Structure 1
Amino acid sequence: MKRLNMYLDKLFEDLPSSEQTVKVKEEITRDLEEKVADLIEEGKTEEDAVNKVIVEFGDIEEIKREMDLPQNTFNRKRELARINFSFSIWGSALIIALVVFINFYYTPHIIWFIYPAFAISWWPLSMFYHLRRKRLEKEL
């Protein structure tokens, strides 16, 4: 049953914590535990029963639509990751442009801007990784 609770926690992590969400989660948990108990009575092992119940349950998208929640609630984390990624691209581009200007204005005979530009470029790369991870988590 622990695996079943972990599965439901994962499904409900994107939803805001409200009284309605808690009630729906409790109702689904109760129903799924009853199905598991019925399958165990039929002779299945607990692990097989939990696996079958999880596969038959599927995803929670239809339940989310029925709960009258704003649509942007589901994609909020992903949108925040997108905003962070955009900000990191613009911010790093401006910082690199400043470093290039300082390099060519004060020391045009030595090209040193490449070193801080390389270090600064890791910021958008890390944000891209974070955004990509959010997309993959959504697919699971």
Structure 2
Amino acid sequence: MANVRNKERPLSPHLGIWKWGPGMLVSIVHRATGSGMATVGAALLVWWLVALAAGEKAYERFVDTFTVSSGALNIAGYVVGIGLTFALFQHMASGVRHLFLDVGANFELKSNKTSATLTFLFSVVATIGFWFVILETI
């Protein structure tokens, strides 16, 4: 009985039919940044706790991964840090955008595209500003 399909009812269109826009991209990136922050953040928390419990040498290795140690810059640690910072700002900006959409505002096509584009611009500028302040204080 479940396999019987009403032939008068249209099928839902697939992704190939839709024209991609900034709103679709922001929605997908919002989900990806949320999942990424949760996954990477949990992994870093577990690594930190294990390093803390394993002793001074293990903890030192963890700290060296994310800081400048003996004048040498650890690129991998900064890539993760900058990536998480960008994800945080992008997710936050997209969340604020969705808050306005939830109350019924910003559905006009031009303002919707503008706000979607501004979330990316904000996240890039905020990430650069955040890391500029962080690196200036070192």
Higher normalized helix content (fraction of residues) = 1
Fold-level match, TM-score > 0.5? no
Bigger Rg over Cα: 1
Which of structures 1 and 2 has the larger relative contact order (alpha carbons within 8 angstroms, sep 6+)? 2
TM-score by length of structure 1 reads 0.30
TM-score by length of structure 2 reads 0.30
